[in-house]
Amino acid sequence: MKKILFIVAIMVMATTASFAQFGGRIGLDLANFTGDWKDGYKTSAGLHLGLVYNFELADAISLQPGAFYVQRNYKDDFDNKIHSHYVEVPIVAKYNLEVADGITIDPHAGPYFAFGFAGKNKDTDQKVFKKRSKNGMGVSNFDMGIQVGAGATFSDVIYVGLDYEFGFRDNADYFNPLVDPNKKVHARNGMFMITCGVWLPE
- Residues 130-159: tens digit of each pLDDT: 665 555 677 888 999 999 999 999 999 999
Q: Output the pLDDT for position 127.
A: 87
Over residues 34-50, the mean pLDDT reads 87
Between 8 and 129, residue with greater pLDDT:
129
Percent of the chain with pLDDT over 70: 81
Q: Which domains does the chain have, with CATH numbers?
A: 24-199 (2.40.160.20)
pLDDT, residue 104, reads 95
| pTM check: above 0.95 | no
The pLDDT assigned to 115 comes to 95
Per-residue model confidence as pLDDT tens digits over 56-72: 888 899 999 999 999 99
- 202 pLDDT exceeds 80? no
Q: What is the pLDDT of residues 76-132, one digit of tens each?
A: 888 889 899 999 999 999 999 999 999 999 999 999 999 999 998 888 888 888 665
DSSP assignment string, the chain: -HHHHHHHHHHHHHTT-SSEEEEEEEEEEEEEEEETTTTTEEEEEEEEEEEEEEEEEETTEEEEEEEEEEEEEEEETT--EEEEEEEEEEEEEEE-EEEETTEEEEEEEEEEEEEEEEEEETTT--BSSS-GGGSB----SEEEEEEEEEEEEETTTEEEEEEEEEEEEES--EEETTTEEEEEE-EEEEEEEEEEEEEPP-
